[in-house]
Amino acid sequence: MNRLAIPKTYKLYIGGKFPRSESGRVYEVLSHKGDFLANAAKGSRKDARDAVVAARSALGGWAGATAYNRGQVLYRIAELLEGRRAQFIDEIMSSEGGNAAAASAQVDEAIDRWVWYAGWADKYVQVAGNANPVSGPFFNLSVPEPSGVVAIIAPQGSESLLGLVSAIAPALVAGNTVVVVANENAPLSAISLGEVLATSDVPGGVVNIMTGSPAEIAPWLASHADVNALDLVGAGDLDWVELQISAADTLKRVLPPENGADAAAPALSRILAFTELKTVWHTKAIL
């Protein structure tokens, strides 16, 4: 006799906890064949605001952690994802379709992406900053720092896990904290990733994952005065020009939508997009 399986309740991931949407709303997530998979939480404006509060509270600790520490935490995500490969492959196959080889390749690439970005944590400052030879008795140093709270619309196409990882990992490298709206049609691996993050030494609130409608949630994040930057990588099908216009009111740093297989491709420029360059002039003594 077959054992009756225990399905998982998929909830949001905010502030290191897994709450339901405060709105009480859920939406049906279907498999690629149209079968019922789960009721995912349909995040609301209030959930988005709670997520921003959580991200802001977590910023000091994450940005203030040593680069070596952040690198190890990001690498730890890769370790734990590796251990749960089978679960993610299953979820991806049921949600996105495709064969085991493709799903497996996607998970492998997502793991490798964490490893690649983890290695940048204690290097990007060296590559992007420098000492400046000013004409005067000063020691002058330029160093990139995190922009702050970054709101991200995750890629909405195929490869839901890889798209999500490709969008959030670079923002985390520099010490930003993140509020991300997951792939609307394939949100399950995003919440499962939240479970990985929750057990990977990533402090609560550093990554906050919303499921639901990007079209509904994105405007609240774009206009939120406590969000410093907006990554519209997965917003190509939304009215993203309006989102960018809204973000201009608080002069957010904005990355535009990207389409195709190259979307959110791994790049140092994705890390630097959400950094601010600080230049300090130290006066030298007269000896």
260 scored as a contact of other proteins (CB under 8 A): yes
> In this complex, which beta carbon is closest to other proteins, that of residue 198 or of residue 272?
272
Give residue for tokens 């929750």. Answer: 198
Q: Which stretch of DSSP H or E encloses residue 181? A: strand 177-181
**Distance between CA atoms of 127 and 118, rounded to whole angstroms?**
15
Could you tell me which residues are beta bridge partners of residue 38?
A: 29
> In this complex, which beta carbon is closest to other proteins, that of residue 23 or of residue 142?
142
Q: Which stretch of DSSP H or E encloses residue 280? A: strand 275-283
Instruction: Report DSSP state, residue 9.
Output: P
* Long-range contacts from 103-109, C-beta under 8 angstroms, 24+ separation: 106/159, 106/161, 106/162, 107/81, 107/161, 109/162
Q: Binding residue for other proteins (CB under 8 A) from 36, 66, 83, 134?
A: 134
The site string for other proteins over 148-187 (x = CB under 8 A, - otherwise) reads ----------------------------------------
Closest distance between other proteins and the C-beta of residue 283, in Å?
A: 4
226 scored as a contact of other proteins (CB under 8 A): no
223 scored as a contact of other proteins (CB under 8 A): no
> In this complex, which beta carbon is closest to other proteins, that of residue 53 or of residue 268?
268
65 scored as a contact of other proteins (CB under 8 A): no
- The interface region with other proteins, picked from 5-13, 29-37, 75-83, 109-117 by CB under 8 A, is 109-117
224 scored as a contact of other proteins (CB under 8 A): no
Closest distance between other proteins and the C-beta of residue 81, in Å?
A: 17
Instruction: Report DSSP state, residue 165.
Output: H
Rounded to 10 deg, the angle between the 67-83 and 100-120 helix axes is 170
Measuring CA to CA, which residue among 48, 58, 276 is closest to residue 179?
48
39 scored as a contact of other proteins (CB under 8 A): no
* Two structure tokens written together for 75: 């690498």
Q: Binding residue for other proteins (CB under 8 A) from 23, 39, 130, 213?
A: 130
**Distance between CA atoms of 137 and 281, rounded to whole angstroms?**
10
- The interface region with other proteins, picked from 43-51, 95-103, 181-189, 236-244 by CB under 8 A, is 236-244
241 scored as a contact of other proteins (CB under 8 A): yes
265 scored as a contact of other proteins (CB under 8 A): yes
- The interface region with other proteins, picked from 13-21, 73-81, 137-145, 210-218 by CB under 8 A, is 137-145
Query: 98-126 in b/e burial notation, b at 16+ Cβ within 10 A?
Result: eeeebbbebbebbbebbbbbbebbbebbe
Instruction: Report DSSP state, residue 256.
Output: P
Contact call for residues 237 and 156 (beta carbons, < 8 A)? yes
Tell me the number of residues near other proteins by CB under 8 A: 51
Q: Binding residue for other proteins (CB under 8 A) from 19, 203, 204, 266?
A: 266
Closest distance between other proteins and the C-beta of residue 111, in Å?
A: 12
Q: What is the CA radius of gyration of the chain?
A: 20
Contact call for residues 116 and 266 (beta carbons, < 8 A)? yes
132 scored as a contact of other proteins (CB under 8 A): yes
Chain residues in the site for other proteins (CB under 8 A): 112-113, 116, 127-128, 130, 132-136, 138, 140, 142, 147, 228, 236, 240-241, 244-245, 247-251, 253-263, 265-270, 276-283
